[in-house]
Structure 1
């Protein structure tokens, strides 16, 4: 049973209460690349600097390949979460993976046993944590208990900056089924799903495992193989390439509201209906939905033969095609000087004053799911903290949300407003901003 100080949680949840707004995309397919002034295309299609250029930065649609900061290389490690000392709020993290193992958006907490809780209070958009280091083929295990309830979606996925994706997902009304999926470069092909029979995912600890090599992906539950995908079975005769996840990816753990009333009806139906924010068992006690995570174990595999190696510290791309052969291992820095820096200007410092910089977008949100979750409105929230903000830039220094939230009224949305489709779709869900009280 989860036992926490409810008063403390409610106080934090007030900061995470969502205000729903439609976000206008700036970059991506049919929109083009970001301008030099805001060079980095976030994982959900908005241009900015600072944290926009870190994890999730899309090299295809950023101003230059080099606009995105190089990604910290894989490190084999068992991750536990007691004290959350290795977890950074998104408003603190500048790319130093030696200091932090995870970046969080929302309200991660500890249970009395020291396990990680991903929480979702009433009318919020939940919590997501992404690893700071990337995995380029490896074995990744998460021992966890899912959440439950209509409209409540738990996820453990791998997501690359090129939007290659490997998924475990759970719908809160179907606790004996584990959904699996994969996507190549964010292409919304909905024929890739497969289910694994599982028991009592809310009440019982299970270990969910992805074994990812350059030739296959195996999904396992408690050590038993539930599904295997061979790369050879993904050949696309039209494009003459393999539609197979093949680029360095972050581990993401999340809890998100598929059954939000403002979501597309297809998403709501897939998620098991609208969320009950009042009378469900967990909203009555402890007062929020939650996922429990005991540990995550990452075992890195060797890079493919023939990989271009210019060092040993980071991954980056030699070409926007974003295939395995375009990944370079080198010694490029992964750490920004401030939230006003980018991959092409790593040492840009924060100004002494925020005057005149209110419109600069520096800290995007993370997203709970990926490409296959369905059309849905994009919520934005108030999360995070203003701790440890020295020399980080405007967003952190002022404690204000400088992320552009787009259209906030009932008028017709512009043609490039987000029409979110699928599990990378919550890729496109922005849990944005901190609001200073």
Structure 2
């Protein structure tokens, strides 16, 4: 079904476009020069693939990804979608948008609803600027129902991750987790009890992240702390601790999708019910997001700094001492551009390239098993030992010196307002691509 939708989406881009499967990418299979950027979903391309989520370790070169806008202290009221852009409309200018995403965000009663219609994979929004340590807190009412997952996470381009997640069958607990460079270690998880039903009641969830520890809070009370000193990996000779710039990412996604790994389905409470009362009453599952506040870490230089314009990596190890706070530009002229040629297609009217390929939309052909908004590993059910992608790191302090990496229907929820800015391209390619699991 997905392959039948993709040609339609491409036809909307250009009648002469030719359908092509974007190359896959990994630590051992980097992107080719003609499609140099490895997206968050493990596919190579240009344009939006080179923006948020682009992994420099898996791309053609470290400079293939566009530099990421630095952290900014900001409070997002979440009472408007004026500062939101669909991924098909965003070229990297964070002064024009606070959030970029895919799916169907709606407005209701001064808050944003993230929705998941039947047979879709939900909605994901990410900040356009990156947080390199600091505090972030959000007021949230979660979704509910088996297989339905709400997420509030910090997610980095090199797969460093800090999570709050809620499964729809347990409305009295918030699940927390963290990953270093996407390496699956399910011993990293831990639950925090919540005082009242997370679907019916707003709670404030907060992550405080420094170079030395992560603290998760609920309604201002500390629920869990993880110290960097507890994460030393003697085999890899490095700290297995999130340490690189991340975007704040909020989402609703189907952990219980039938095509997901069994461990993910079990973790999410079972196979999702597309005929549930939630779907019958409202037309979709939804999660409600109120005010979100980002406070950047206070550092004038080195890890956590944000005194210039953008972040990039100068070493494939992708640890905190390889991040450069720079004055490099962050904006592409068109979806034909990349970090090494940011002006490509710039003379095309409207700033987008005629004949653009599927690679211009990240998620246009997802890596099997990868669920947008779901964070790092796709199979949440099996515990595995911690392995590493880098070696030879210094144990002194937390500035690691590492060697090269080796490897809706009408009558929708309570009068919610639909966004009008999402293009047909975003609906067809965004949703079709996200469904490719």
Whether TM exceeds 0.5 here: the answer is yes
Return the match for 2:203 from 182, 189, 206. 206
Residue 303 (str. 1) matches residue 308 (str. 2): no
SS in 2 for 1:65: coil
Runs of 4+ in 1 over 6 A off after TM superposition: 308-311, 353-356, 384-389, 402-405
Cα displacement (A) at 1:371: 2.0
Return the match for 1:273 from 267, 270, 273. 270
Asked if the contact 1:362–1:402 (Cα under 8 Å) also holds between the matched residues in 2, the reply is: no
SS in 2 for 1:302: coil
Moved more, 342-351 or 101-110: 342-351
Asked if the contact 2:103–2:431 (Cα under 8 Å) also holds between the matched residues in 1, the reply is: no
Correspondence for 2:80 = 83
Give, in whole Å, the separation in 2 of the partners of 1:326 and 1:367: 27
Correspondence for 2:375 = 370
Give, in whole Å, the separation in 2 of the partners of 1:312 and 1:355: 30
Asked if the contact 1:362–1:403 (Cα under 8 Å) also holds between the matched residues in 2, the reply is: no
Return the match for 2:144 from 138, 145, 148. 148
Give, in whole Å, the separation in 2 of the partners of 1:238 and 1:261: 37
Distance 1:24 1:342, change over 3 A: closer
Cα displacement (A) at 1:200: 0.6
Distance 1:130 1:156, change over 3 A: same
Correspondence for 1:238 = 235
Asked if the contact 1:82–1:110 (Cα under 8 Å) also holds between the matched residues in 2, the reply is: yes
Matches within 5 A, 1:319-334: 319-334=315-330
Correspondence for 2:18 = none
Distance 1:37 1:400, change over 3 A: farther
Residue 159 (str. 1) matches residue 155 (str. 2): yes
SS in 2 for 1:63: coil
Asked if the contact 2:182–2:377 (Cα under 8 Å) also holds between the matched residues in 1, the reply is: no
Give, in whole Å, the separation in 1 of the partners of 2:432 and 2:98: 28
Matches within 5 A, 1:348-363: 348-349=344-345, 357=355, 359=357, 361-363=359-361
Residue 339 (str. 1) matches residue 335 (str. 2): yes
Distance 1:307 1:192, change over 3 A: closer
Cα displacement (A) at 1:262: 2.2
Asked if the contact 1:70–1:316 (Cα under 8 Å) also holds between the matched residues in 2, the reply is: yes
Distance 1:358 1:300, change over 3 A: closer
| TM, length-normalised to structure 1 | 0.79
Matches within 5 A, 1:26-425: 26-30=24-28, 32-111=29-108, 113-198=109-194, 199-278=196-275, 280-303=276-299, 306-307=302-303, 312-349=308-345, 357=355, 359=357, 361-365=359-363, 367-374=372-379, 401=429
Distance 1:137 1:351, change over 3 A: same
Give, in whole Å, the separation in 1 of the partners of 2:113 and 2:435: 17
Moved more, 307-316 or 202-211: 307-316
Note the residue ranges of structure 1 that are not aligned, 5 or more in a row.
Answer: 1-14, 16-22, 377-383, 390-394, 406-429, 433-437
| TM, length-normalised to structure 2 | 0.79
Cα displacement (A) at 1:67: 0.6
Give, in whole Å, the separation in 1 of the partners of 2:287 and 2:306: 40
Cα displacement (A) at 1:308: 10
Give, in whole Å, the separation in 2 of the partners of 1:202 and 1:387: 27
Correspondence for 2:413 = none
Q: How many residues align?
A: 371
Asked if the contact 1:105–1:431 (Cα under 8 Å) also holds between the matched residues in 2, the reply is: no
Give, in whole Å, the separation in 2 of the partners of 1:272 and 1:307: 39
- Provide the alpha-carbon RMSD of the alignment: 2.9
Q: Give CA deviations for 1:263-311 in whole Å, capped at 9, x if unaligned.
A: 2222111110111111x23112122110000111000012375459896
SS in 1 for 2:360: coil
Asked if the contact 1:91–1:385 (Cα under 8 Å) also holds between the matched residues in 2, the reply is: no
Give, in whole Å, the separation in 1 of the partners of 2:25 and 2:423: 31
Asked if the contact 1:218–1:227 (Cα under 8 Å) also holds between the matched residues in 2, the reply is: yes
SS in 1 for 2:278: helix
Distance 1:343 1:385, change over 3 A: farther
Q: Give CA deviations for 1:2-61 in whole Å, capped at 9, x if unaligned.
A: xxxxxxxxxxxxx9xxxxxxx88611033x211110010111211000000000000001
Note the residue ranges of structure 2 that are not aligned, 5 or more in a row.
Answer: 1-8, 10-20, 364-370, 382-418
